[in-house]
Amino acid sequence: MPTTRLYLRPVWFVDSPIGLADGSWRRLGTSLLWFQGVEARGAGALQVIPVAALDDWLAALPDPLRLQADAQLGGLAAPRPSMTLGGRTIRFDTPQVMGIINMTPDSFSDGGRHLSDAEAAADVGFAMGLAGASIIDVGGESTRPGADPVWEGDEIARVVPVIERLARSGAVVSIDTRKAAVMETALAAGAGIVNDVSALLHDPRAMAVVAKAGCPVVLMHAPSAGPDPHVRADPYGDVVADVYDFLSARVDACVAAGVARDRIILDPGLGFGKSLADNLAILNRLATFHALGLPLLVGASRKRMIGALSNEAPASERLGGSIALGLEAVRAGAAMLRVHDVPETVQALRVWRGLRDAALTATPSPAS
């Protein structure tokens, strides 16, 4: 494989390492997932290396590639530390759920549902928390394709009354915004996390706000930091590699600006300036992003790709597809799902967790 960029993805996942030969498997961070092989891509070449053969494979690589591979393998193994927010702790050794509240008139799924009644919106958030959501994500500007920009004052007026009510109850709240002024006001109102679809690129002050606050931040990939985050000037080469490189660069920029690395969560940005084929490629190769060594958030809930795969089902009829994509992401190691349908997603994840626990505690049959 020539000297170039290298991308490693864990493959050959197993239900449990019990009974497997020592050295034939590795654990993905602190998750309930174990893998027995690593896929390596670079310069159009692809190969899969069994875990047991990784040391020999690494030794044969040119120095620049070996440095990349060592760093990425370290990322796969790195623990994803828990995040403490006030009196609550968010753990990443099992998948978490982030519930969505859109205080907007025009979001693609629930636009206008909560806009005029902050108390009712907060009640929805309370119900999400009772159903098992670890975080309630409140946004006041739609980022659907073609949505009109919102003045920051209007955005603040939409989200702050809801955030204040939720925070007083002890809920962990994230503010879904690209604007520094909205971030500052929402954090002062009780939000504990910033969720920015532009990865802190839209507003020149956003990075400094997050660094000063010391709060966790979700960095999402979108092809544009301008008014419409869906605009893409150039076609993707390899969409997974392109998104990976973007997120890697944003992590480096955040750390250089004073954002603690262990306060960063990554989101590949499904549906943002990406075709159906792009979205499917990202989901099928999602585990590639674990090489960055940080928790992954996936937001596939009710998105257009589900309609495209199911006879153009409207957003309100995409629960089955949302659950299917969420479970696929969790099987690839996603630490958090951002969803509209919290009770159903939590139930699916509890069943998934039960299966993992059963596999981990099973006693292998004696060899015949």
* Structural domain boundaries in the chain: 7-77, 83-356
What is the pLDDT at residue 144?
80
Mean pLDDT of all residues belonging to the chain = 93
Strands 34-42 and 26-27: antiparallel
Q: Is 289 helix (H, G, I), strand (E, B) or coil?
A: helix
Is residue 206 within a helix (H) or strand (E), and if so which, with residue range?
A: helix 206-213
What is the pLDDT at residue 2?
44
Q: At a CB cut-off of 8 Å and minimum separation 6, what does 8 contact?
A: 38, 39, 40, 69, 72, 73, 76, 288, 291
Helix orientation angle between 152-168 and 180-189, rounded to the nearest 10 degrees: 20
What is the pLDDT at residue 109?
59
Using the CB atoms, write b or e for 239-249: b if 16+ within 10 Å.
bbbbbbebbbe
Q: What is the CA radius of gyration of the chain?
A: 21
Strands 173-176 and 135-139: parallel
What is the pLDDT at residue 116?
74
What is the pLDDT at residue 368?
43
From residue 318, alpha-carbon distances to 159, 249, 307, 324 in Å are 26, 34, 7, 10
Report the helix count and the strand count for the chain, using DSSP H and E.
Answer: 11, 14
Check if the beta carbon of residue 139 is closer than 8 Å to that of residue 101: yes
Ranges in the chain, pLDDT < 50: 1-2, 368
What is the pLDDT at residue 44?
78
Q: From CA 23, how far away is CA 40, in angstroms rounded? A: 19
Query: What's the topology of domain 83-356?
Result: TIM Barrel (3.20.20)
What is the pLDDT at residue 148?
82
Q: Where are the alpha helices (DSSP H) in 99-205?
A: 118-131, 152-168, 180-189
Active-site amino acid positions:
303, 338
Check if the beta carbon of residue 315 is closer than 8 Å to that of residue 108: yes
Q: Where are the alpha helices (DSSP H) in 78-117?
A: none
Q: Is 156 exposed, middle or buried (0-12, 13-18, 19+ CB in 10 A)?
A: buried
Check if the beta carbon of residue 269 is closer than 8 Å to that of residue 220: yes
102 phi and psi, to 5 degrees? -100, 110
> DSSP assignment, residue 296?
B
Q: For the residues of 225-278, what is the DSSP string, one character each?
A: SSS-TT--SS--SSHHHHHHHHHHHHHHHHHHTT--GGGEEEE--TTSS--HHH
